[in-house]
Structure formats: C-alpha cells, structure tokens
Structure 1
Amino acid sequence: MKTIYYPLFLSMTIMPVGVLWADVEDADNQIETQGIEVIQVTARKRTESLQEIPDAVTAFSESDIESARIEQVNDFINLTPNVIFRKTFRAGASFITMRGITGTQQGLPPVTYVVDGVQVGSADFINQDMGEIERIEVLRGPQGALYGAGAMAGAINVITKAPTEELSGKIKVQYAEGNDKTVSGYISGGVSENIFGLVSVGARKSDGLIDSSNGDDLDFNDTKRIKTRWQYLGDEFSADLRLGYAKYEQGAVMQDLLAKGEEFATAQHADLDDFSGLGPERSFIGNENQTFKDASLKLDYDFDDMTLTWISSYQDAEQDLLGDLDWSAANIFLQDLVDNFDVTSHEVKLTSSNDSDLRWLAGAYYQKRNGLNQLRIRLESTVGVVGDSIFDQIDVKEDTIKAVFAQVNYDITDKLELTLAARYDQVDYQSTRFKTPKQQEVVPLPNSNGQLQNTLTQSDNSFQPKVSLSYDINNDSMIYATYANGFRPGFYNSGNLTKAETTQNFEIGGKSTWWNNRIQLNGALFYIDYSEQQLSFIIATAPFRQTSNIDQTEIRGLELETIVMLTDELRFNAAWGYTDSKVKDTGQRAPATPKYTLNLGLNYEKELGRDWLFNTRLDYRAQGNFFLGTTQEPLEVGAKQFVNLTAALEWQDWRFTVYGENITDEYTTTNASYVNGLLGTVTGIIRAYTPGRQIGASVEYKF
C-alpha cells in the first residue's frame, strides 16, 4: 500500500512548489488569477474575516461543503488538523479528540458544538445528518471564555442555510455500495414581505458495509429527518425559528471480539490493525433506535450602536439499544440500553457594533439537562430471542449550568488589537439510582466520603479568562499570542463521580496571504497544562463502567494550514497538525491522541462550454498511531492513510457526481476495551472500527 501513497504525497507536495517557482520566474508575464475566497466567520460571536481573528480556525464555505461532500460530522473533521472523530458501539456515543483532549461516555464533549448560535446539550446530538449547511467553523484551542463549560479544546460552529426571498430549492438522489439509497432536498422562499422559510427533508436506507462472519448486515441504517427554519426580518427587529425532527434505526454493537479465551490469557494483547477475518461473530444483530427533536428561537433587536439577542432552545433525545453482550455466536447475554436526554437553554447577550475601536459583548447563559440511563442485561435463550433480565441499573440525572460572560476587543493602534474575555460557570449535577424503570424505589449509593446517599450531588465552578494580543504586520499578515483557561465539569457515570478537569493554554500564531491573495498560510504553536484528564472504560463487574482522572498531562503541538490558488481552475490545500501529549508521572502518551494528522488536497474546476462545468476533488488524510484503553493497559492503533475522490459535472441546474470514499479500502480501529472476565464468561478485547471503501453516485437538481 505504501507504493500507492508515497507517489501521491510526492506529487501533491511538489506540484505547488513547481508552479510557484514558475510564477516567480515569469512574474512579469503572469495572468491575473482570482484570489482565495474570503470567508466571514462568527467565531467570536460577531461577524469578522477569518484571516483577521487571533484564533486557529478552519472554515468550510458552502462551495467547500459541496465539493468535499460534507454530510456528517466526521466528513469535515477528517479535513481538519489535530482533530479526530471516533465512533464506538453506538452512534450516540461518539467522541471528538482535539489537540489531545478527548471525550468520555456520559460526560460533556471537549468541544462545544453550536448550530445557529444554539449549543447542543450532549454528545448524543452531534453525530447526525447535517442537512443544508452554509458554513462550518472549527475553532481549535480553548473557547470557554465565550462558549463556556466543555469548550476546553475548542468549538464547532455550524451555520445552516438561511431562507431565501425568491423561491429556490434542491432535490438530490444518491446511491452507493451497501445498497445505500438517499433522497434529500429543500424548498425555500418568502411567504410575505418580511417572512421567509426553508424546509429541508431527507431519507436514507442502507444495508451497510460491515458484515458479520455469517454475512449479516451489521451497520444498516434507516433515517428520516425534517428540519425547518423561519425568519422574520424587520428594520430593527428580527426573529429566527428552527424546528427539527429526526428518526434513526441503525446497526449497533458492531464490535468484534479479539484475543479471546485462552489466547487472551497467554497473549494479553491483540493486533488492532488485523482486519483479515470474516467479520464479527454474532448470534444477535444489534439495533439502535434514536429520535431527536429540537426547537430554538433567536430574537434580535438592533439599537443604534448595539444589538440585544435572546436565544431559547429545547432538545430531546430518546435512544434505546438492544445488542449482543458476549460478542460471539454463542447465545449467552444481551445488553438492553436506554439513554434519554432533554435539554433546555436560554442565552441573552448585548453586542456592540463593529464600527468603533472598542468592541464588546456581554451576556448570561442557563442550561438544564435531564437524563435517564438504563442498563439491563438479559439472557439470550435461543438465537435472536430475548430472555429474562438478570441485571438492572437505572440512573436519573439532572445537570444545571449558570454562566455570565463578557468580551472586549480594543484597537490600541491601527495595527495592535487587545482581546480580553472571561466567563464564570457554575455547574450543579446530581444522580439518583432506582431499582425499576418506574422509579419507585431508590438505591442508595456511596458519595465521595463513603456515606450512603439517596441522591448524589456535586458542584463545580470555574472562572475562564482569555487574553490575546494580535499585531498586523501589514495588510496581509498578522501575528498573535493568547493565554486562556479551559474547564470541563465532572459528571456521574453509573454512580461513579468523575472530577472536573482544567487546562492552562498558551498559544502563538500567525496568518498571512501572499501573491494577491493567491496563497493563504496560517500556523500556530501551543502548550497545554492539563489537570485531571477524564477517562471512562469497561470493567468486568457491576456497574460495568468506570471513570477516573489522570492527575497531570502536558500537551505541546503545532498546526500549519495553507491554500494555494495554482491557477483560476486549480486549488491546492494542505494542513499538518502535530500533538505531543504525555502523562507527567509516567511519560506515557495520553489516550486517543495521534501524534500527527496530515491533509493534502487538490480541487480542479473547469468550464467546458455550453453551460457545462467540471469539478473534481482529491483528498488525502494521514494520521499517526494512538492508544486506547487505560494508561496502565494501553492498546495501540496503528497509523492510517485515507483517500477520497469526487468528480462532478454541472449543466445549468443539474449536477451529476460520482465519488469514492476511502478508495484504498483502509480500515482503522475507533474504540477498543479489555473485557477480562465480563459476567464470568467473556474474556478478550472488543474492537469497533470504520467501514471500508464505498463508491457511489448522485444526481441533484437546483431551482
């Protein structure tokens, strides 16, 4: 396989260098070339140019989203340096790792995920079909001063497509390997002089790409969704209403069991990069049902020199799963899991205009999250038949976040900007265990002092400051230096308390454009002092899940991103991220953190005449090895490389696309755990992994 990647890497690296050298040699005769698209972002909760803000941000415009076929979260994460996305045994339990900081089951993600100004209340809401998207902003580095508890690694801003005044829309039909069929589209337009609406729908049915050893489909998918957005736009007052509903029925518990039985006892390890087997053994095909509902209302009132904004939202997730618990062809155990959340939030803020040297914003935030997590272990009496329950565990949780925040941007001179930001978060959380789902009998649990309590309660609070200085070297280049604190609250997982974690972050970086905005080069160096890093893992006895904290971790890293317009028709992009994350006491690498990620891409667009337009995009992604499990018993995932290729023809309002995802058919492990003696019968290592290559095609019509 190396023979495939090395020439690809070499050609994509040398090509822009050669073209730029030719440009230098023939500067007097060069043809005027269109510059790189200037993207406006709202990373600092006000509209600014991407190249002007002193933060490491990777932004995807609407054209990027279309050419790269970004439809789910992992699609754009795989194009971003120092970020990875890992699916586990079910869709709702997926983890983002950014700059060495990763997620844990039942805890807040380390990256705040925001859709049209609304922060999602749980990681379960992230891994969904995205619908119609206008822009995506990936902010790396702590963003707690504005986005609060959980944004210690960064934030992701997703801006959906706004309704149009004139009637417009799209219909798209797609088919791919795995009998993967998708129909989606939207319709948008004005219903009056000031009111505009957009309705987006989608349906997908797929057999999947991962088969069991018997040939059964494991990662099947049946999705239905509808999202709608309505805007009222007045002279001073505007309102933005979003409503969404999605229902998923999909495969779950797709792990295979490695190094099992006597082999595990002698080897104590497994080759997580060996995918030569026939697929996971199964007596029961896992199934997960998810229903998501969300609603939000954003109100803006413009005064002469400031804007008052109010955002209220409600999010509801109902999730149930039934799947194998012995990960084998034997009829032994099944896991029956319920994981429900409902989240209500409110935010109010005042934002000054962008017209003065002093720009500011201030606000307050409130969130309440109710959760129910139930684990039931059942006997599997015969193949595929659900038997009696032998274990029940019902945890009801309630979390409350209260916060105030402010930010000031001051132009000390025409070239020097000072940013001061801060947020105070108070997080209260509690957990109560019941014997039955009807919640009639409480099971007392020990608190941190060993005393039995009917309800476990805990409070965490944090002041998260951020200070940044940026200096404009000239109209095309700037440098910056930033200090910031990060914070993620603790949580209860199966009655086990996980402590809050904090970071101190130092970053220096720069952004520049060259050759009449034909080259864009951004970079950052960072150091993170990380305290009480949160971990979660499987244990062999009840409650079968455990959490812990790593006292101190040190993280050092850098990122480099470049875009080069080689010609009006050919664009080259590259991004390299490096992260050295080590536990201070042992020197071991921190979990789920590759030492590097590398992205290379070429995008070619050519007018063919007679209204025909050809577009093709090639993306290459490499990421280093990383470790899963605990620091005492790490499991290594090897370095991997992936290639995606897309080609599209446009004619008037039609677009015809063929694509190949992971065209070299590479597999990689996304999660792995020891299950030594689970329930007295299951011994080995369970592994979740990505599917292989998928080739597909789509036709869409816009009007």
Structure 2
Amino acid sequence: MRKLVHASVAAALTFALTPLYGQDDAPSAAEVDTETDAAAEPAPRRRLSRSVEEIVVTAQKREENLSDVPISVQAFSADALDARGVKSTLDLMKVTPGLDFGVQAGDFASVFLRGIGSEAWLTSDPSVASYVDGVYYSFTPSLIQDLGGVERVEVLKGPQGTLFGRNAIAGAINVITKEPDFDDRSITVDNFSGSYSSRNDLSINKTTIFANMPVTDNFAMNVSAFYEYDAQQWSEDASIAGGPVPAKTTFSGRFKFRWIPTDNLEMRATIFGSKREGTSTLAANINPTPLGQVLGIDGVKERARSPQTDLDMYGHLSSLVGSVTAIYNAEPFDTKLILSKQLHSNPYNYDYDGSEQTFAEFIVHRHYAKINEAEIQFLSNETSWGSDWLTWTAGAFFFQNDQGFDPVELTVGGLDPQNLGAQTFLGLVEIPDIVVAGTDLVLPAIPLVDDLTAGFPSYALSNTGLVETESVSVFLQTTFKITDWFSLTLGGRYQDEFRGVLDSRTAIRVGVPGEIGFRTEVLDWQQARDARGGTALGIPTDNFRPDSDSTRAFTPKISLDFRPFDDDTLIFLSAQEAVKAHSFNAFAFYLPPAYVPEETIQAVELGIKGSLFEGSMRYTAAIFHYEIENLQTQFISLLNGGALSLDVAGDARSIGFDFDVIVDLFPSMFDGLSLTVNGAFLDAEYTEYTNGDGQDPTTGIFLDNLNDYTGNRVTRTPDFSGSVSLANVWLIPGGTFEASTNVYHNSGFFYVASEDPRYEQPAYTTVNAQLSHYWERYRLRTTLSAENLTDEFYTTGTLILDPGMLATLGPPRILGLKFQWTF
C-alpha cells in the first residue's frame, strides 16, 4: 500500500509539472519518487537566471571560455542583455563600468573606456574599436547599433593593439550576431511599445523579427529586421521651425548565409542595411553663454525638454555593409579570411545656436564614408606543431577609406540687431575682420551693437573636406605553456598607415538680407598646418606642412598568466602598447586642413578572475596604469576655422581599478536569484596640456592658447561608475516569472578640459526595473519595464559651441510593454 501511494503521488506530480517544464523535459515518476535509491546522486538544479552563465568569447580571435581569457572582458549573451534591458550599444555603459558611450550632434558616437577616448569623432576615428562579426566599423554615426539578433557582445578593456589593432588604444566592442542554424526553423517576433514621461501620447514602438531558415543539411540563412518609431523625448511644446518635432524612424535588416560544402570548409556571407530618418540633430542648449542669452536662449526651458529652434531640421543616416567570411580548418593550422565593403551616408543639418533666431546653421548635403577591408588570420589548432605547449595567431589587415563632407554649408548672419537690446557682446563693437591666411581675402566684420544703421551681413560658406586613408598591418601573438600553471604570451603588430587630405575647398557668399551679394570659390588648399599653430588672424609660416603623412609603428605585448591554485583562478600581468594614427581635419572654412600626430599608449595591467563557492560566484578584477601621448581632441567654433578644429591635448595618464562580480545567491534555497555588482574607480588626468584651446570662462567664446590644463581631469571620465543588478526567477505553472532591477551610478565628469562648471555633467543615478513572464509551452515572454524610473535628468553627449552647451539628453522615464514570441 505504501509503495502504491508513493507511485500515485509521483504520477500526480509528473502530470502537474508537465506544463511547467514541457512534455519532453517533465520529470518522470521515478525522478519524483523520493523513495528511490538513496545512493543515487541528486540531479543538478535547473539554473533559471539569465545573468549567470558560462560564455564563449573570441577576445583573442579564437573561441575560448570567458574564464580562460587573460584579458579584462565583460561579455553578455542575448539573454543576459535582455534581462538587463540593454537594447543597443548605447545601453552598454549602464552595465559596463568605466565605459562612456555618448552621442551628440545627432548620431555621432563618442566612446571612452577606462579614461581613454577621443573627442575627435567628426573626421577622425574612435579610440575604442567597434567590430560586428569581425568587420571593423570606423564611421562614428554607424557605431550605434540595435542588438536584436545578436549571439553575444564582448567589451574588451584596455589596449588591443596586437589582435584588434587599428585605433584600439582604449579597447574594443565586439558584437557577434547569430549564425544560421541547420536544424532549427523558427521565427522570433519582439515588439516593444512605450511612452515617455514628458509626453502624453504613445511615443515609442520597436519591432524586431528574427527568422532562421535551414535550406539543406549544409546550407542555411537567417534574417534579422528592426523597425523603430520614436516620437522622441522632447516635451509636447518643443518645436522646430515653428512646428512640432517629428518622429524619428529607423529600419535595418541583416541577411546572413552559411554554407559548409566540406567537413573542413565553411563559408559565410552577410548583407546589412540600415536607414535612420528624423530630427536626431535637435539638441537642448542647457547652459547658454552671453551670446546664447543675447539670442534669447533660456537654459531652464531647455532643461524642461522644450527646445525651440528656427531651422527645419533633418537627418538621413544610411549604411550598407557586405562581408564574406571563409574558414578553412586543416593541418597544420586554420585559416580565416574576412572581406568587407561599407558605404555610409549621413546628410543632416544642425542649428548651431539652438535658438529661434537665425544666427548660424550647418547644412551637410553629403557626408559619407567608403570603406574596404580585408583580414586574413592563421590560427594554430590541435594538429599544429607543439600544440600541447604552443598556441599562436598570425595575420594581416588592410583598411582603405575615403570619408568627409562634400559639401557642408555654413550660414552666418540674419540677426535682427534690435534683438541685441541695450547690451553689447563681449564689450566689443564688432567681431574683427577675418583675414584668411595666404590669401587677399577678408571676411567683413560682424557688428554686434544696437546702434547699427546699415544692413547686417550674412555669410554662406560652402566647404568640401575629404580625407583618404590606407592602412596595412601584420600581427602575431604566441602563447607558450611553460608549466601547468604558468604561461607566457608574446605579441606584436606592425602598422603602416597613410592618411592625407583628398580635397579641401571653400566657396563663399556674402550679402545683406534683401540683396543679392556675391558667391565665388575662394580657397583650394594644397597644404595643411599643425593643429596647435595658427588662428583666424594668421598662420606662422613654420606651421605649414604637407597635406599627407604616414604613421609607421610596431606595438609589442607581453603577458604572464598564472594558475597558482587547484581551481579556476587565473592571474594575469600584461604590458603592451598601441597606436592611433595621425589625422587631418579637412573640414574648416577659412583655415588650411589641420594635422595632429599619432596618439600612443603604454599600458600595464594586473588582473584576476575566477569563481568561489562551488561556482556560484564569479569575479573579475584588475588594476591598470596607462600613459598616453598626443591625446587627440577637437573643438567647434565659428572663430577657429568656421567649424571644426583639431587639437593635441598633450599627454595624459589613467590609473584605475575595476571589478565585476556575479553571484548566484543562496543556490540551496533559490534556483534563480542572482546579484551583479560592478564598478570602476578612475584617476585620469592631463599630465601635460599647456596653451590649451577652449571656451573663455567669462564669455564662453572659443579662444586658442587659452590656458594650462595640466592636472585637470580627462573629459568624459567619472571618478566612479558602476551598477548593481538584482534578479530572481520563480518557477510557476506554465513557465517562469522574473523580476529584476538595475541601478547605475555615475559620479559625474566634465565635457571640457578646463573643468568649467558650466560644461559639467553632475553625478546621476538611473534605476531600471523589469517584470517578465515566460510561457514555456508557447515560447512567449511578456515584459513590463520601467527605464529611468526616478526620471533623472542627465546628458549623453554635448557640443560646446560659442552660444553654449548644446546637449543630447538622456531619456526621461519610459514605461513600456514588450512581447517576445518564438514559433
């Protein structure tokens, strides 16, 4: 009778748990019966947390477990990204300490990592290299990527000058999308609808569709499509050209093909296209200078998300990227070849002053990049000579790019002098005549007082500024297993990069409103100048230089890896160098193209990673010291070239400590309770930055050779940034229920090297929360989310201009509902 009762109870439990686990995964009666053989080992718990998992990464160009890679890497699977509410690369900073992923002037990204980055994002390259499926992206407006259909994202911290090479002096962001599968035919639809707290209408809708389609047993394809409608974060009384702010729309699609014709050959092909339309260039002038105040800008109103500008703004970012990858696995090594071609276009306009007055505006008729890449890798495998003690990776990389503006037009003038009231600007009667160096051209002075009786001059300058780049590099990295617990890694990369001015010309139209005026091409530059030499009033002869140059450099690496204990603890000590090539700014209206020399970094890092408490806690920690020479930066001012000016921010250093801990809390009591704690403490400062350019502390107007910034903090670098995430998953009839929260804190930073408090991002904290239900039988997940729950006001990027600080604002509170269905 007792056995019969136990059997009946076991059968009843099996029936009850079938909807919970699915028919195939439901426990059998024997598994439920607690009276079975006591000597049998207990079945492992079913881990439910989507944040605690072992991840395979390619941080060293080969697949390895994250815990075995002697590099500071944070990696996130698609599930972990979804659990933490990360939807795009912009959100990565909320889960990656020490990372600042900003955006300004619409779609231009500026990425800093561990205190290293670059303000020179307009015509130069970022200091954190971005890769998607092995393809290097250098066009900054295209770095912001939706993360639908990804397999994982890896954030590599510190210089990656050997394997990732070109310009990876601060680190790399490596996005890997899902490969086509030969067995699973499925479609996943992910739809998010949300509303900003600053608007009353439904203002956001995002839809992602991912489909995997096996064709034969060795050929498959997948498709990922993304659509976004965003009525934007501005309040309902914000306006452009007197009308409402239109919605921003984005569409992208990725087609991937995978073919394995033989056992040792695999072919992949990818076509990716995206299009973004809208007014992403709209910004809020939250700290107007005296000039901005003369123009009627009210920073308080701007902080209320109510900018009102005179320009009918637009932005039309589009990208088309094609790539082919071939992988040949054979004796005595594997070979991988990646070929790609990229076409990016970003026409837009920008209200320079951000006011309702017609003062200055940029109209970019054509901003493009044409990029060709090729990389070949040779990787040792198990059949390679000495494979039991030697691992190596070698290869070569080719990069060619034509990029710039063709043309961009700047219009200055049209101010009604009566709007100046009784005050004068800067105490001056006028901004002096601008004498164009090397020519007889004089741009007429701009009167700035209310007793003007003549007409007010209007300038229209048209500039073509194009830069060409061709880079070739070779690399080799070898790891010697000296003992079972000690390994030595040696690596190096040689880079030869040519970069020069392809075209730099300016045409001018000057007139008085209501009159015809004149227009003519006046400048065709055939030489460049040192960025630190020359102003609008003239350039010393010895500061002129050729309009092309080459950066040739060898950057070595050495790393020691230790496994001193009888567990998975890994200690690594590395020293390496990396280089970011020289750059030219061909985008200037009345100055020759500016040249800045190559930027270099020497880095030392000591790190540890491992697990504790039978694997329920995983940790990574590192301390590091960076020395940077010739830090590249930029400014934008009408008074220094009419637009963009490059500068060299001297030398800098960054010393810091960062950590990441993931804990599976109380595993004997909970199946899905996890805690993530991470943080980065940074001490990054300019060690030599004399005669620095910048904004006058009284007027806000740009001046060159303004001050000594030595000892000041590096821009966009907080003393501390980090996050805490807590999530729990409960088994419920039919599936699971998940609750999670993520708190991110940033201690604040300056946008300018002068540490001017007007251009500071104060400390801020954001709180995100999610409630999610997964119905396992139908593979349907429903998520209720709240982003920036406390409605914190903060900026994600700025342009510091003569009229003030034009900021891209972080989103306000967003409440949303998401459905994710796989069938």
Matched ranges for 1:501-512 at <5 A = 501-512=599-610
Contact persistence 2:288–2:299 (CA under 8 A): no
1:436–1:607 Cα change, 3 Å: farther
Q: CA RMSD in A?
A: 2.9
User: Which residue of the partner structure matches residue 768 of structure 2?
Assistant: 644
1:48–1:684 Cα change, 3 Å: closer
CA shift for structure 1 position 155? 1.0
Q: Which deviations, in whole Å up to 9, do the C-alpha atoms of 1:492-529 show, x marking residues without a partner?
A: 12221122111110110101101111001210000011
Matched ranges for 1:538-617 at <5 A = 538-541=636-639, 542-566=641-665, 567=667, 568-585=671-688, 586-609=710-733, 611-617=734-740
Q: Which deviations, in whole Å up to 9, do the C-alpha atoms of 1:295-347 show, x marking residues without a partner?
A: 00000111134111111001110110023222111234331023200100001
Structure 2: stretches of 5+ with no match in the other structure: 1-41, 197-202, 417-456, 509-519, 531-539, 588-592, 689-709
CA shift for structure 1 position 382? 12
1:145–1:537 Cα change, 3 Å: same
Selected match of 1:177 from 195, 208, 214: 195
2:746 is matched by which residue type in structure 1?
Q
For residues 806 and 133 of structure 2, the distance between their equivalents in structure 1, rounded to whole angstroms, comes to 38
User: Which residue of the partner structure matches residue 402 of structure 2?
Assistant: 370
Contact persistence 2:267–2:325 (CA under 8 A): yes
User: Which residue of the partner structure matches residue 173 of structure 2?
Assistant: 156
2:633 is matched by which residue type in structure 1?
L
Deviating 4+ runs (over 6 angstroms): 263-266, 270-275, 379-383, 436-441, 451-455
Matched ranges for 1:326-337 at <5 A = 326-337=353-364
User: Which residue of the partner structure matches residue 485 of structure 1?
Assistant: 577
For residues 819 and 339 of structure 2, the distance between their equivalents in structure 1, rounded to whole angstroms, comes to 37
For residues 454 and 224 of structure 1, the distance between their equivalents in structure 2, rounded to whole angstroms, comes to 44
Contact persistence 1:218–1:286 (CA under 8 A): no
Matched ranges for 1:1-150 at <5 A = 36-91=52-107, 93-103=108-118, 104-105=120-121, 106-150=123-167
Selected match of 1:628 from 745, 751, 756: 751
Contact persistence 1:435–1:441 (CA under 8 A): yes
Contact persistence 2:288–2:298 (CA under 8 A): no
> What's the % identity of the aligned pairs?
22
Normalising by the residue count of structure 1, what TM-score does the alignment of the two structures yield?
A: 0.88
User: Which residue of the partner structure matches residue 692 of structure 1?
Assistant: 812
CA shift for structure 1 position 602? 0.9
CA shift for structure 1 position 480? 1.0
User: Which residue of the partner structure matches residue 308 of structure 2?
Assistant: 281
CA shift for structure 1 position 461? 1.9
For residues 402 and 439 of structure 1, the distance between their equivalents in structure 2, rounded to whole angstroms, comes to 36
1:305–1:262 Cα change, 3 Å: closer
Selected match of 2:484 from 414, 419, 426: 414
For residues 521 and 334 of structure 2, the distance between their equivalents in structure 1, rounded to whole angstroms, comes to 46
Secondary structure, in 3 states, of the residue corresponding to 1:43? coil
1:188 is matched by which residue type in structure 2?
N
1:186–1:398 Cα change, 3 Å: same
For residues 429 and 419 of structure 1, the distance between their equivalents in structure 2, rounded to whole angstroms, comes to 32
Q: Which deviations, in whole Å up to 9, do the C-alpha atoms of 1:13-52 show, x marking residues without a partner?
A: xxxxxxxxxxxxxxxxx99766742111110011111111
Contact persistence 1:669–1:687 (CA under 8 A): yes
1:202–1:380 Cα change, 3 Å: farther
Structure 1: stretches of 5+ with no match in the other structure: 1-29, 677-682
1:146–1:697 Cα change, 3 Å: same
Contact persistence 1:219–1:254 (CA under 8 A): no
For residues 397 and 276 of structure 1, the distance between their equivalents in structure 2, rounded to whole angstroms, comes to 37
For residues 569 and 261 of structure 1, the distance between their equivalents in structure 2, rounded to whole angstroms, comes to 52
Contact persistence 1:177–1:695 (CA under 8 A): yes
User: Which residue of the partner structure matches residue 209 of structure 1?
Assistant: 233
1:115–1:684 Cα change, 3 Å: closer
Are 2:326 and 1:299 equivalent residues in the alignment? yes
User: Which residue of the partner structure matches residue 665 of structure 1?
Assistant: 791
Selected match of 1:187 from 211, 220, 225: 211
Contact persistence 2:284–2:302 (CA under 8 A): no
Selected match of 2:372 from 344, 360, 365: 344
Range with greater deviation from structure 2 (555-564 or 440-449): 440-449
1:382–1:322 Cα change, 3 Å: farther
1:388–1:31 Cα change, 3 Å: farther
User: Which residue of the partner structure matches residue 702 of structure 1?
Assistant: 822
1:454–1:505 Cα change, 3 Å: closer
Range with greater deviation from structure 2 (254-263 or 111-120): 254-263
Contact persistence 1:209–1:217 (CA under 8 A): no
Secondary structure, in 3 states, of the residue corresponding to 1:444? coil
Matched ranges for 1:224-239 at <5 A = 224-233=251-260, 234-239=262-267
1:434 is matched by which residue type in structure 2?
R
User: Which residue of the partner structure matches residue 534 of structure 2?
Assistant: none
Secondary structure, in 3 states, of the residue corresponding to 1:344? strand
**Larger Rg, first or second structure (1 or 2):** 2
Normalising by the residue count of structure 2, what TM-score does the alignment of the two structures yield?
A: 0.76
For residues 748 and 306 of structure 2, the distance between their equivalents in structure 1, rounded to whole angstroms, comes to 23
Secondary structure, in 3 states, of the residue corresponding to 1:145? coil
CA shift for structure 1 position 660? 1.1
Contact persistence 2:181–2:221 (CA under 8 A): yes
Are 2:461 and 1:434 equivalent residues in the alignment? no
CA shift for structure 1 position 439? 11
CA shift for structure 1 position 212? 7.2
